Amino acid sequence: MSSSPESRRLTPKGQATRDRITAAAARLMYEQGVAGTSTGDILKAASVTSPSQLYHYFGDKKSLVRAIIEYQTEQVLSFQRPLLSRLDSFEALEAWRDAVVRAQHARDCRGGCPLGSLAAELSDADPQARAQLITSYAQWQDAIGDGLRDMIERGELNGGADPEQLALALLTALQGGLLMTQARRDTVALEAVLDAVIDRIRCYATDEPGRAHGVGGAV
C-alpha cells in the first residue's frame, strides 16, 4: 500500500517545497477565500511549475486545506503565544487586548481572523475541516484558560470563576470583534467587547491576592 502525501517522509528540499506551497496557498485563501483560490493561483504564487508537484505533496485540495488550517493555527498562536503564555493577571489581559487592537490597526482593519475566515467558509461544507477548526479553537481557548486558572490558584480570582467558560467568552468576543473590525474598518467594537469580557472577569477578583472568597454569578 502506498503512503499518503501527508504521511510520506520528505527530504529537506521536499519539506521546504511543501512548506512554500502551504504558506503561499494560506496567503491566497486568506485574501481570496478557499473557493476563490484556484490551483493555478497557488502554483504561480508558490513558483511551482506543475500541478503534479502540488498533488505529490497534498493529494487533493482538501488535503491542502487541512495543511492550511494547521499552518494558520500555528501562525495565530505563535503571534499571541508570548502574551498567552503569561496571560495570568489583569495587567496581562489588558496587554493582550492592546496587542490585538494594535495588530488590527497595523493591517488597516482588513482581513479578520485567519481561522475565523476559514471557519466561516468551511464549517457547513467540510465536516473534516470543521472538526480540525474546533481543535484549533480549543488550543486557543486552553491557552487563555491556563492563565485564568493560574489566577484562581493564586487567589486573585474567587472560586466562582469558571476558567473554561470565561476563556470561551473571551475568545468568542475576540472572534466577533474581529469580524466587526473587518466590516467597520475600525476597532471600536473590538475594543468594546474585549473590555466588556475583561470587566466581567474582574467581577471575580478577590480583595487580596492569595485569598479567595465569595462566589460570583454565572457567566
In CATH terms, the fold of domain 62-219 is Tetracycline Repressor; domain 2 (1.10.357)
Longest dimension (CA), the chain: 65
Amino acid at 99: A
Residues of the chain with CATH 1.10.10: 10-59
Query: pLDDT tens, 18-42?
Result: 999 999 999 999 999 999 999 999 9
Query: pLDDT tens, 161-207?
Result: 999 999 999 999 999 999 999 999 999 999 999 999 999 999 999 97
Q: Across the chain, where does the E strand assignment appear?
A: none
DSSP string, 172-205: HHHHHHHHHHHHHTSSHHHHHHHHHHHHHHHTTB
Residues of the chain with CATH 1.10.357.10: 62-219
Question: What mean pLDDT, rounded, does the chain reach?
Answer: 88
Helix or strand holding residue 16 (H, E): helix 12-32
Q: Using CA atoms, how far apart are residues 11 and 147, in angstroms rounded to an integer?
A: 39
Q: Using CA atoms, how far apart are residues 148 and 62, in angstroms rounded to an integer?
A: 36
- Give domain 10-59's CATH architecture: Orthogonal Bundle (1.10)
Higher pLDDT, 213 or 148: 148
Query: pLDDT tens, 50-80?
Result: 888 888 899 888 999 999 999 999 999 888 7
